[in-house]
Amino acid sequence: MMSPHNQETHGAMTPTSGRLMWTIDDMLAERPCPYYDRVRVTELWDGRHGLTLGDILELEIPVTDRLWVVARSGIAVPWTERIVTRAVTTHVLSCGIPAVECWAVRWLDGTDCSAKATWAARPPSRNGSNAGASSKRSRALPPACGSSGRTTRS
């Protein structure tokens, strides 16, 4: 359901009777993939003015499409950040690839959480160009990071 050109929004929702509802227009404003055109979304709404997130999670659509809606609802942000922070702390800070470890330090301390920095820190391809990388995983941060110690996101 996700359009690669529409990752900046986090769910256009309309308050209705104290509950957050997605109308057909709200959903289409998120620019889902072409499969979810007005006809398909109207069919899924089945005559209802709006659907709650719970209603959407019960639709008979692929799980990935339901998660696409969750990501736009705003509730997934704290949940996703906790998962990513744990993964970066557990696996990336001591992965043995200096550029990636430096990125992890900057991401965790909030210095640079941009997508551009993330892509720039990608390790070399697996075609042998990183064959010289040590298989021993060091706990020390590379000197190029410029950080005296690890910090975590709050």
Six-digit token string for 49? 């003015």
Indicate if 105 and 50 belong to the same structural domain: no
pLDDT confidence of residue 137 = 38
Six-digit token string for 9? 């929004």
Indicate if 85 and 70 belong to the same structural domain: no
Average pLDDT over residues 113-135: 60
Indicate if 90 and 61 belong to the same structural domain: no
Please give the model's pTM, rounded to 2 decimal places. Answer: 0.45
Indicate if 48 and 91 belong to the same structural domain: no
Which residue range(s) make up the domain with 108? 77-145
State pLDDT tens for residues 35-90.
Answer: 999 999 999 999 999 999 899 999 999 999 998 888 787 776 677 788 888 999 99
Q: Considering the domain boundaries, does residue 5 fall inside one?
A: no
pLDDT confidence of residue 17 = 33
Indicate if 106 and 128 belong to the same structural domain: yes
Indicate if 90 and 138 belong to the same structural domain: yes
Instruction: Return d(Cα 27, Cα 25) in angstroms, integer.
Output: 5
Residue 117 reports pLDDT greater than 80: no
| Pair 40, 8: CB distance under 8 Å | no
